[in-house]
Amino acid sequence: MHQPPIPEIESADPEIADLITDEARRQFEKIRLIPSENYVSLAVLEAAGTVLTNKYSEGYPGRRYYEGQQFIDQIETIAMDRAKALFGVDHANVQPYSGSPANLAVYLAFAQPGDTIMGMSLPMGGHLTHGWPVSATGKWFRAVQYGVRRDTGRVDLDEVRDLALRERPKVIFCGGTAIPRTIDFPAFASIAAEAGAILVADIAHIAGLIAGGAHPSPAGHAPVITTTTHKTLRGPRGAMIMSTAEHASALDRAVFPGLQGGPHNHTTAAIAVALREAAQPEFRDYARQVVANGKALAGALLARGYDLVSGGTDNHLILVDLTSKGIGGKPAAKALDRAGIEVNYNTVPFDTRKPFDPSGIRIGTPAITTRGLREEHMAPIAAWIDEAIAAAIKEDEPAIERIAADVREFLAAFPMPGWSPQP
Ligand SMILES: *Cc1c(COP(=O)(O)O)cnc(C)c1O
């Protein structure tokens, strides 16, 4: 059953209602290990499904281009205040539609087309919007990119410094989508200061860990911080840009009118609700447990002979290099999905295979931790992963189906917010 229930969709549009229910069941029955995903609370779900979606609010609280903002202004102001308090920053803009537009707004605020910008390359763990060639950020700017060290699998800070001093980028992005280790914000800050660049900490993946005290904060080191709200932060799909007072108006102008029109007010309310949840003591327990589960799962995979990029994890994310197992990331991810374990295939640093058929899989613990899984559940999950990969290599489909059935039975004891199999 859906909570909140969806009787109107069921009667008005049964085709879509059925597909929503299928997706809910899929989320319930699978061990969801995609590190950028989560399960939001009922309160966040409710906020995102309200009549706030009916309202246009171009502008900012107190300075709108449409009338009727008596309540929307209050909601957005509360969301901004909660973000500022939670992350210890002077300014927060909660309007970006998602993480990619948030990063585009940062470029719009600080760089001109053709300027040099710097970020981590995508195959090394960076995000598309950090200057990868197929992205607008790689087409419209002169992107220089850093990676990780071959011997350690960790960000090569010597390379970052050399590149920054030689190329003098306007902005330097730190953070990424496949970085299993703690980001050294003070080190990036001193490099950016030396190079005369603006440091942007893109904390999309780790915002919830930072809010919960399980990863160091970039506040006080990076004058600009971007984040999605829907990954470890466990809010609705959306994003925020946070900054020092100095950069506030440039960033606000870049989001609106520079890049966007009206903000998604239902999302803003859901962000506010999620930020309140993230400020509670239980969220600190959650963030700590995400990392504890990450370390336990990494340990269990290492014990089964898996190669992990950088040898393990400090956070919620594990990058597995399957080269020594003799299977590509894509067939492994597809077999795991059939076995009820959802991961994504991913390039590993210095990958010798093609990007659409890379050597790795990327796994993470935010969603399963929300379901209530703890360290003791990580060894069984590693065992299922290992068995499913072995079965994929042997093309043993019945074994994969047996694992999926075991996974379904196991997860039935861990409720998810928003849907339960009971009618
Ligand atoms: C997920 C992510 C983004 C982009 O977020 P979208 O909401 O998918 O546009 C940007 N940067 C990093 C580091 C991310 O992990």
Other CB atoms within 10 A of residue 161 CB:
18
Domain that holds residue 391: 286-411
Helix %, strand %, coil % of the chain (to 5) = 50, 15, 35
Per the structure, how many domains does the chain have? 2
Task: Looking at the structure, tell me whether residues 194 and 343 fall in a common domain.
Answer: no
CA 261 to chain centre: 24
End-of-domain residue from the set 212, 245, 278:
278
Cβ atoms of residues 63 and 193 within 8 Å: no
Q: Is the CB of 323 under 6 A from ligand 1?
A: no
Cβ atoms of residues 62 and 284 within 8 Å: no
At 150, give phi and psi (nearest 5°).
-65, -35
Q: Which of 64, 142, 168, 237 is catalytic?
A: 237
Task: Looking at the structure, tell me whether residues 336 and 247 fall in a common domain.
Answer: no
Q: Is the CB of 97 under 6 A from ligand 1?
A: no
Ligand 1 pocket test, candidate residues 37, 95, 100, most atoms within 8 A of CB:
100
The predicted-structure confidence for 180-202, as pLDDT tens digits, reads as follows 999 999 999 999 999 999 999 99
pLDDT at 166: 98
The H or E element containing residue 341 is strand 341-342
End-of-domain residue from the set 226, 259, 278:
278
Give the domain CATH number at 390: 3.90.1150.10
Task: Looking at the structure, tell me whether residues 53 and 153 fall in a common domain.
Answer: yes
Taking CA atoms only, the protein residue closest to ligand 1 atom 5 is 99
Is residue 80 one of the residues assigned to a domain?
A: yes
Band (pLDDT 50/70/90 cuts) for residue 423 is confident
pTM for the full predicted model: 0.97
Cβ atoms of residues 9 and 20 within 8 Å: yes
The predicted-structure confidence for 8-65, as pLDDT tens digits, reads as follows 999 999 999 999 999 999 999 999 999 999 999 999 999 999 999 999 999 999 999 9
Q: Which of 37, 46, 56, 401 is catalytic?
A: 56
Kindly state the average pLDDT of the residues 233-238: 98
Task: Looking at the structure, tell me whether residues 290 and 247 fall in a common domain.
Answer: no
